[in-house]
Chains A and B, each alone.
Chain A
Amino acid sequence: MTRRRPPAPARLSPSDVLRVGAAGLRARPTRVFLSALGIAIGIATMIAVIGISSSSRAELLRQIDRLGTNLLTVTPGQTVFGQQAKLPPEAVDMVKRIRPVRTASAVGVIDTTVRRTDRIPEAVTSGLTVQAASAELLTTLEGRVAKGTWLNAATERQPAVVLGSEAATRLGITRMGVRVWLGNRWFTVIGILTPMSLAPEIERSALVGFPVAERLLGFDGHPTTLYERSTEESVESVRAVLPRTVNPENPNEVNVSRPSDALAARAAAAGAFTNLLLGLGAVALLVGGVGVANTMVISVLERRREIGLRRSLGATRGQVRIQFLVESLLLSALGGVAGAVLGALATAGYALSRDWPPVVPPWAIGGAVAATLVVGSIAGIYPAIRAARLSPTVALSTV
């Protein structure tokens, strides 16, 4: 007899592979839901952790954007003998002569306390400081008064005080015109400021004018913090000349800092603590993967007859293997997609409740999909191999 070519198995088209894999899932919806849920929880945790920390970072960057990065503060350092140095009283005027500087102002800490009334003991300061402030301070810090007015040429000579937002809260003052006990006198509250993220120390201060501070509170006229804003491009060059301008004799006794750097550092650090939570999500994903593997093993045991039938219909071992592998992949992909959606929703909900811009980075979604595919294939390999190894006669004789 003439030798004919041995028959070659036909290839399954990708759509047929998907159909066969999905058919196994459709037949057992409850089990599919529960095992996909495990994967979904893991992925949702990871997406939400990444999403929330990204949103928080986006919020900080947005804040930096809004506040600007061109504000520099100057504070006195220490002398070579380790004593507290002082800024010269004329420092503000010197700084204003640097060409790119648009605005500069100063505050000086006064060694006294502010209290609600004279009946409150002097030791109870509520953590508030009293500072003399130059009239331009509000311009430099781009702050606003929430209520009342800011100090002007007249009120900075009078016993009038403007409270930072935190100081007003701690003193319990909401109305203008009430008096507070400052130093050893009554000062009238004429204004309350809005919060200032770039100068939180101002939020906790009671601010009076330089003249009245020197006349009534024994202030020596030396500023303790100097604020300066220049054009964005010249921040670094201004920063370089500031110490010598402020204190030409001892430039080393001057500290210059950029408050927005602190926010930028917080933004950079926002992702650091999430590693632990990400690890928790990974553990959940792993447990979900074990659930998928378990489901698949049981599925193979239950479907021996189906496997036998498919073999009798001409399925090769490879085709049986790919069927179960695809089923496992679909199962975990289902969980992955559901988890990504859940995680994104959780991120959006949390971010919106805190008034942050909701951000879910695309790489996190991509990573989640990749992770589920990896989990799905690892979970499916062993059951698929078992299914493929099953001898057709054994599979068919199972009742």
Chain B
Amino acid sequence: MSPPYVVELSEVTKVYGGQVPALRGVNLTIGTGELLAIVGPSGSGKSTLLNLVGTLDRPTAGTVRIDGFDVAELSDRELSALRGRTLGFIFQQFHLAPGVSALDNVADGLLYTGVPIKVRRERAAAALERVGLGHRLGHKPNQMSGGEQQRVAVARAVAGDPPLILADEPTGNLDSAAGAEVLGVLRDLHAAGNTIAIITHDMEIAEWCPRRVRVRDGLIVEDEGDGAGRPAEITKGART
């Protein structure tokens, strides 16, 4: 009995400290199995959008529904649980714990889902296999390339099989080749049925995604393409 949309934003406004609104009435829905880019220059409101979709923040007005739950109706604890179960985050800076093996970095991502450590490690190993790092389980972040580190972070995001994966500038800290490597992993995950939203200012990545949501000055100015479609071929890879 799954809700029709993973994400449902209606007339969402966000104002920080009574200044210029960061979002001015945004409507957006993301269906299961979509791969989309939320694209816009810095200051366009796309980071605010990420925070709201990621339930890291609450809207000033309007409703945000994630996996069918109205964020406004949930307590902080329930919101945390929703986040842990429904969302997988990928960050520009990877956010891996230094000195901890890839396996445990991914396994710790499942810490708050209430699964025992043995199962967490099994799932982590499976997730690392999915991102093509099955042979590097014991490696620590400083022993891996940037692309590999970001793939560990991707594995952490998908290990719990969340209905939505949010990637915030996933290639922002990588060179073209490593960026292409990570996008390839995301394409494979999408092909396997995962829902992925990439927040980026990179037009190339946006063009690569089957659906593009353009944000400018706190409004969605364009929403084109079918998120369920196949992504384009990666030609030159992504540049920052």
Please give the residue numbers on chain A whose beta carbons come within 8 Å of chain B beta carbons, in ascending order. Answer: 1-2, 4, 6-13, 15-16, 19-20, 23, 26-27, 305-306, 308-319, 391-393, 396, 399
Contacts and interface: CB of A to CB of B under 8 A. Distances in A.
A393 B76 contact: no
Interface string B52-88: 0010110000000000110001111110111111110
Contacts of A393: 51, 56-57
A6 B73 contact: yes
Given A9-B77, A312-B54, 4 more contacts: A9-B81, A11-B114, A310-B111, A311-B80
B84 A23 contact: no
A8 B111 CA distance: 15
Contact of A312 (B85, B89, B113, B114): B89
B112 A12 contact: yes
B68 A4 contact: yes
Which of A13, A19, A305, A396 has the most C-beta atoms of chain B within 10 angstroms of its own C-beta? A396
B109 A313 contact: yes
A317 B51 CA distance: 17
B28 interface: no
B51 A316 contact: no
A366 to B, nearest CB: 32
Contacts of B115: 10
A385 B77 CA distance: 15
B95 A9 contact: no
Contacts of A306: 95, 97
A-B pairs, 8 with minimum CB distance: A314-B84, A10-B114, A314-B112, A9-B81, A7-B81, A316-B80, A392-B56, A6-B78
A308 B91 CA distance: 11
Interface residues of B, number: 39
B232 interface: no
Contacts of A19: 117
Given A13-B116, A20-B111, A312 B77 contact: no
A282 B54 CA distance: 48
Contacts of A16: 111, 117
A314 B97 contact: no
A312 B69 contact: no
A21 B85 CA distance: 23
B99 interface: yes
B150 to A, nearest CB: 14
Which of B100, B108, B115, B117 has the most C-beta atoms of chain A within 10 angstroms of its own C-beta? B108
Interface of B: 1, 3, 51, 54, 56-57, 68-69, 73-78, 80-87, 89, 91, 93, 95, 97-100, 108-109, 111-117
Contacts of A317: 76-77, 80
Contact of A12 (B91, B100, B111): B111
Contacts of B83: 311-314
A6 B69 contact: yes
Which of A9, A391, A392 has the most C-beta atoms of chain B within 10 angstroms of its own C-beta? A9
Which of A8, A305, A308, A312 has the most C-beta atoms of chain B within 10 angstroms of its own C-beta? A312
Contacts of A311: 56, 80, 83
B87 A312 contact: yes
A79 to B, nearest CB: 88
Contacts of A312: 54, 56, 83, 87, 89
A313 B84 contact: yes
Given A27-B98, A309-B95, A314 B57 contact: no
Contacts of B91: 309, 396
Nearest to B114: A10
A316 B87 contact: no
A23 B97 contact: yes
A9 B77 CA distance: 6
A392 B56 CA distance: 6
B56 A9 contact: no
B56 A396 contact: yes
B176 to A, nearest CB: 23
Nearest to A8: B81
A314 B88 CA distance: 10
Nearest to A399: B93
Contact of B80 (A1, A2, A9): A9
Contact of B81 (A2, A314, A399): A314
Contacts of B73: 6
A317 B81 CA distance: 11
A26 B1 CA distance: 44
Contact of A313 (B3, B111, B116): B111
Nearest to B51: A393
A78 to B, nearest CB: 82
